[in-house]
Amino acid sequence: MPVLVMKFGGTSVATLDRIKRAAKRVGVEVAKGYDVIVIVSAMSGKTNELVGWVNETSPMYDAREYDAVVSSGENVTAGLMALTLQEMDVPARSWQGWQVPVKTTSSHSAARIEEIPTENIMGRFEQGMRVAVVAGFQGVSPEGRITTLGRGGSDTTAVAFAAAFGAERCDIYTDVDGVYTTDPRICEKARKLDRIAFEEMLELASLGAKVLQTRSVELAMRYKVRLRVLSSFEEQSDEAGTLVCDEDEIMESNVVAGVAHSRDEAKMTLLSVADRPGIAATIFTALSDANVNVDMIVQNISEEGRTDMTFSCPTDQVARADKALAAAKADGVLNFSELVADTNVCKVSVVGIGMRSHTGVAAKMFRVLSDEAINIKVITTSEIKISVLIDRKYMELAVQALHDAFELDKAG
């Protein structure tokens, strides 16, 4: 029988009633003849609560124990979903990551899936089981310890299962009815897209649109998984939601497909570093060894052999960056006068594959921000995106102004 993967996010399994509603959706697909793999998140708010407990207990926590704690939310919803399906007379069984097993790397809290053997679950489908409920977000390391896949990781679990089982489609049920031109929670004119290209979705996700975890889009693109985002709160047809697909399956599109934002960014500037070969390597090796995810980098013009180096990273990594660079200075491998951290910035980006062939997008973006008197602190570009770092207080304003200026409320 064909296999379908259905993933339910936190708000879709937040209460027993919502689990029932989701289970009914699963029942509809089972009745159509699919064997279904259901991937569940923890109840909404649960993972945050667990992370909070870990931080309170041990600020410099052991990542293996962090994973042991934060993976537990999904175990609860997997069992409850299987029970709910059984109550509806749908043959269902739950699996935790290690039982499948979802084999991952051992980078705790940010593990990558390496392999999902299918025999176990396939064997059960052959014996008449119709639904395998799998706890999302978790796996098991080569050392046999529980791992987690990073926040939003259940999306990646879902796509990885769809790829491993050759599923007909991977449906991501969430609290919005698809992928929008920008976060509908901060721009009321945001428009739902019927289709979006993998590459655009990949950029939007990595630039902050949390509707899909970046890694899930990467996997879908690589393994050609048909990926659909839709609401678990509305009646659904086969055409509902947004299909993430190849560029050539999209007839018309705007030059700019969407606007993304990332709230918790920090801008760090090293003042007066020596301008000579090897300095950038020294700085960014120290940061990488401390697991700091550096995003934008700018080096200023030098004067008398000294320069300033600016980079951005997530705000919760500022302390780690600070420590790593101070240690490099103390060791004598790096010399700078001061490290200035600005933790009140955010990143706003415009994304679109149309930018490959259209000029003027950057000029227009900068003009729009200037008309709103928003100062740009750092700029980066790639073939299909332009990102700026600006003061966080202007984030909503910038997103809305850009959405208006590029007329994203109208279809291209």
How far apart CA 53 and CA 46 sit, in angstroms, is: 11
Site for ligand ASP in 141-160 (CB under 6 A): 151-155
Which of ligand ADP, Mg ion, ligand ASP, none sits in contact with 168, Cβ below 5 to 8 A by type? Answer: none
Counting contacts by CB under 6 A, is residue 352 touching ligand ADP? no
Please say which residue, 3 or 158, places its beta carbon nearer to Mg ion: 158
| Nearest of 394, 353, 172, 374 to residue 252 by alpha carbon | 353
Please say which residue, 72 or 118, places its beta carbon nearer to ligand ADP: 72
Which of Mg ion, ligand ADP, ligand ASP, none sits in contact with 42, Cβ below 5 to 8 A by type? Answer: ligand ASP
Please say which residue, 9 or 97, places its beta carbon nearer to ligand ASP: 9
Q: Look up residue 171 and give its two tokens.
A: 């449906």
| Total count of residues recorded for the chain | 412
Counting contacts by CB under 6 A, is residue 12 touching ligand ASP? no
How far apart CA 99 and CA 96 sit, in angstroms, is: 5
- The answer to whether the CB of 363 falls within 8 A of the CB of 405 is no
Coil, helix or strand at residue 103: strand
Counting contacts by CB under 6 A, is residue 73 touching ligand ADP? no
267 sits in which H/E element: strand 258-274
Which of ligand ASP, ligand ADP, Mg ion, none sits in contact with 269, Cβ below 5 to 8 A by type? Answer: none
Residue nearest to ligand ADP (CB): 9
- Provide the 10 A C-beta neighbour count for residue 338: 9
Provide the minimum distance between the beta carbon of 5 and ligand ADP in the complex, in angstroms, as a whole number: 14
Provide the minimum distance between the beta carbon of 135 and ligand ASP in the complex, in angstroms, as a whole number: 10
Which of ligand ADP, Mg ion, ligand ASP, none sits in contact with 153, Cβ below 5 to 8 A by type? Answer: ligand ASP
Distances, alpha carbon 271 to alpha carbons 274, 341, 343, in Å:
10, 11, 17
How far apart CA 101 and CA 28 sit, in angstroms, is: 28
How far apart CA 403 and CA 283 sit, in angstroms, is: 37
Residues of this chain that bind Mg ion (CB under 5 A): 152
Give the binding site for ligand ADP (CB under 6 A).
9-12, 41, 152, 174-176, 179-180, 182-185, 204, 209-211, 258
